[in-house]
Amino acid sequence: MNNHLLSRRTALKTTALATASLLAPSLRASAPPRDVPWLAEIQQPPAMLPDDAPKLTDLLIDNQGRKITTPAAWKTRREELRRWWLDFLGPMPAERNTAPKLTVLEEDRPEGVIRQLVRYEIEPGITTEAYLLKPQKQTAKAPGIAVFHSTVNYTIRQPAGLEGPPEKFFGLRYAQKGCICFCPRNFLWPEISTTERLNTNSEVKKLADRAPRSKGMAKMLFDSLVAIDILAALPEVDPARLGSVGHSLGAKETLYLAAFDDRVKATVSSEGGIGTKFSNWDAPWYLGSSIKEPTFTHEHHELLALAAPRPFLLLGGNSADGDRGWPFISAALPVYELYGKPARLGQFNHAKGHAVPPEAEEKIEQWLLTYL
């Protein structure tokens, strides 16, 4: 059966990990009509790889050691990798049905934008909040962007443009550019409050009590899938033009969302640590300590390959990401090229640390507005 012909209603009634939002993209995906002018530049290796740049497995070798040269052969290998990662993450903490109803708690109208604080049920009996931002004037359906905050105690107030450095006001910025942005709160902060402190141990324990086989990253993936469900269901949103962006913690969420939800057509991941050894991926709220065992032989270039051929931009500053992340791009590019050229995957290293400097802001904007 053609996965793209599955109805949304039928797909959402199945277990979340088997839903249409986790399906492989069409091997004949149509190419966007244009590209960013600097695409070739972000597909060039650094002058010298750091000593800690990893050596990664060849993605185009099947489980019998044969070279993969056709889209059909990759489709089989893709499904094997996809299934391995989903099994490793464990089951989603709940099933997804229809997009949850939003209750508006607050509303204001800054600088041409309608900004709403909304509450919704993320799991049965568990509510959370997000900011929904949209242009005050809209004449046609608009792109929708899921925006994921970084590790700050003011959480969703950051992308909503209410607190923190302006360069991370992604939700407000792209609503002003004509997009509809949904900014969900990460589960590690149980309440929206400028005084609420991160309490990872408490929230990880709560997750383990109700979903003992689910890793923290499974919960984050589930929550991001729900965010896309919500965006896709909004009447103002064009469901064929959905994207995501995140920095640091939020970049980790965009990576997994891109890999497992083919509704997401363009992704920006900024300084999340693409390699499992680049940041604290072994924390219990992400993947857990098992990734440090010698028996763990997988890496995140496999997730980049699962996102192919959808546009994916990796941003680094030589902190969590940067030159040492090049092997991930290099390994995934041949998979992208199986779908045709140009491959819309690359890395931009601004070399300014764990930040979003002006040149990165410009790249993010051009990427999202070009490919959405």
pTM score: 0.91
Number of residues that make up the chain? 372
* Cα–Cα distance measured from residue 273 to residue 129, given in angstroms and rounded to the nearest whole number: 26
* Cα–Cα distance measured from residue 156 to residue 272, given in angstroms and rounded to the nearest whole number: 17
**DSSP assignments along 306-354, one per residue:** HHTTS-EEEEE-SSSSSGGGHHHHHHHHHHHHHT-SS--EEEEE--S-S
* Cα–Cα distance measured from residue 140 to residue 120, given in angstroms and rounded to the nearest whole number: 26
Q: Where are the alpha helices (DSSP H) in 234-289?
A: 249-260
Tens-digit pLDDT profile for the chain (372 aa)?
333 333 333 333 333 333 334 433 433 344 446 999 999 999 999 999 999 999 999 999 998 999 999 999 999 999 999 999 999 999 999 999 999 999 999 999 998 999 999 999 999 999 999 999 999 999 999 999 999 999 999 999 999 999 999 999 999 999 999 999 999 999 999 876 555 567 788 999 999 999 999 999 999 999 999 999 999 999 999 999 999 999 999 999 999 999 999 999 999 999 999 999 999 999 999 999 999 999 999 999 999 999 999 999 999 999 999 999 999 999 999 999 999 999 999 999 999 999 999 999 999 999 999 999
Distances (CA, A) of 61 to 67, 83, 334, 335, 340: 5, 17, 11, 11, 19
pLDDT score for 199: 79
Helix axes 249-260, 216-233, angle to 10 degrees: 70
Tell me the three state secondary structure of residue 257: helix
The single-letter code of the amino acid at 134 is K
Tokens of 242: 């959905």
pLDDT score for 191: 75
Kindly tell me the sign of the dihedral angle through the C-alpha atoms of 118, 122, 128, 131. Answer: negative
Q: Are strands 142-148 and 237-247 parallel, antiparallel or unpaired?
A: parallel
Residue 330's CB: how many other CB atoms inside 10 A? 16
* Cα–Cα distance measured from residue 160 to residue 170, given in angstroms and rounded to the nearest whole number: 7
* Cα–Cα distance measured from residue 269 to residue 276, given in angstroms and rounded to the nearest whole number: 15
Q: Where are the alpha helices (DSSP H) in the chain?
A: 8-13, 71-89, 170-176, 200-210, 216-233, 249-260, 301-307, 326-338, 358-371
Please report where in the chains the tokens 């499974």 appear, as a residue.
218
* Cα–Cα distance measured from residue 308 to residue 10, given in angstroms and rounded to the nearest whole number: 25
With b for 16 or more beta-carbon neighbours within 10 A and e for fewer, the 77-93 pattern comes to: bbeebbeebbebbbbbb
pLDDT score for 235: 97
Q: How many helices (H) and strands (E) does the chain have?
A: 9, 9
Tokens of 66: 């044969």
Give ∠ CA 312-30-234 in degrees, rounded to 5: 70
Report whether 270 contacts 246 (CB < 8 A): yes
Kindly tell me the sign of the dihedral angle through the C-alpha atoms of 99, 304, 268, 256. Answer: positive
pLDDT score for 166: 98
* Cα–Cα distance measured from residue 345 to residue 227, given in angstroms and rounded to the nearest whole number: 24
pLDDT score for 83: 98
* Cα–Cα distance measured from residue 243 to residue 234, given in angstroms and rounded to the nearest whole number: 14
* Cα–Cα distance measured from residue 322 to residue 301, given in angstroms and rounded to the nearest whole number: 15
